[in-house]
Amino acid sequence: MIQLTGAELIAHATQVVAAPARWNAARSTTEGARKDVEEAEYLSSIGDPAYRDAVRSIIARCETLGIEVKWRSRGAALRIDTPDRRQPLAIGWVLSEGSHWQAARYVTLGVDPTSLAQTPSVANAVLAYAERVKSIPGGVAPKSALNAATFPPAVLPGVLGEVDGALTALVEQLGA
């Protein structure tokens, strides 16, 4: 993957040799437009430009890799399809300032062990991913049962390469 940056613009160029199926290739124009508005509103709420650019980069990378970015009222869940259940498995959360879910805050990457127990086909890959994100410097373990690391605004821009590597490795391992 190549990252191109400029004033107020970050773009990614990549060639996908193999990737998991898109979560919903037939997504309607209305759903796509709603997602774009939710993403734009979320990003515009971030005051720190370096953190905003880092979050934007993670969202773009997830979409490039085929990871679903499911927007909700206070942020988004990063989700992967699994053969074990109909609902995708969350492997991260991007939450607005002051919001939390099971102690996940800001950008939290990892997995909920209860959800992972329902998806044994991907357990090894997702556990390896969780260990990898927890080893990234500056990540903080949530005070909950989540097997994850939280990356606060002051930390995330400096570890973007490591986060990208963890997401890429997970998708590659699942596709193998």
| DSSP-derived secondary structure letter, 99 | -
Residue corresponding to tokens 């942020």: 75
| DSSP-derived secondary structure letter, 77 | E
Q: What is the pLDDT of residues 51-92, one digit of tens each?
A: 999 999 999 999 999 999 999 888 999 999 999 999 999 999
On whether the CB atoms of residues 125 and 174 are closer than 8 A, the answer is yes
Q: What is the pLDDT of residues 11-55, one digit of tens each?
A: 766 655 554 444 444 444 455 555 666 888 889 889 999 999 999
What are residue 94's DSSP bridge partners?
Answer: 76, 107
> Is 0.85 topped by the overall pTM?
no
